[in-house]
Amino acid sequence: MVRLSLAAVITAAQAGQVISFPTDTLPALAVQPDQAAQIYRLKQRPSEKPLILMAATAAELWPFAQGSPEDQAQWNAIANQYWPGALTLVLPASDRLPAAANPLDRSSIGLHIPACALARQILAETGPLATTSANRSGEPALLNPDAIAAEFPEVTVLAEDPWPDPSGLASTARALASRWTMASSAAGQHCSGGGVSPWRSH
């Protein structure tokens, strides 16, 4: 098992390796978006399940989405109200999205800013990362670094101890249409509208 310092985890991510760190919801596996095939292999994750892009700021995420100026203004309004936090916006993807991050359907992408200062500190140095929960696909999410390091010996796991307590609930994500409303869920807040289709991070 590999548990390393904050600086070493950032360096590993910048080099294209898979890392793991805490968030406010579930601990993440994360990698540069163009290296996302590593996560699918490690998790034994079906290719029809997309990953979520996580970043420290909204400005870093918007280039991966495409929409009209009116759409972008509304996205910003939602982001200003609910980010950082347990909200994942699922938006039409731009051609900047690497195929590896969403192998079977590049038409949309989930975007998220975690309400965990330590996670945002890492993301501020690495740039946007393709992320998912730290578990084998279909199995319960792992919630502590020792369990993650034991399950995924190839992954560089942050050695910061103790990790901030996660909620243990995945952020709720919804595909958005042109008209959106905000609604509560057990995992926080989500956006919904016509043509709703759920995204799950596991």
Distance in angstroms (rounded) separating the CA atoms of residues 68 and 194: 17
CATH number at residue 134: 3.90.870.10
Q: What is the pLDDT of residue 163?
A: 76
Give me the domain span that covers residue 29: 2-199
Per-residue pLDDT of the chain (202 residues; tens, 9 = 90+): 466 899 999 999 999 999 999 998 899 999 999 999 999 999 999 999 999 999 999 999 999 999 999 999 999 999 999 999 988 999 999 999 999 999 998 899 999 999 999 999 999 999 999 999 999 999 999 999 999 999 999 999 998 666 766 544 555 554 454 433 443 333 333 343 333 333 444 4
Q: What is the pLDDT of residue 187?
A: 36
Domain count, the chain: 1
CB of 1 closer than 8 Å to CB of 15? no
Measured distance between the N- and C-terminal CA atoms of the chain, rounded to whole angstroms: 22
Distance in angstroms (rounded) separating the CA atoms of residues 132 and 153: 17
Residues 6+ apart with CB under 8 A from 192: 174, 176, 180, 181, 183
For the chain, helix (H) and strand (E) counts, in that order, are 6, 12
Q: Could you tell me the pTM of the whole model?
A: 0.85
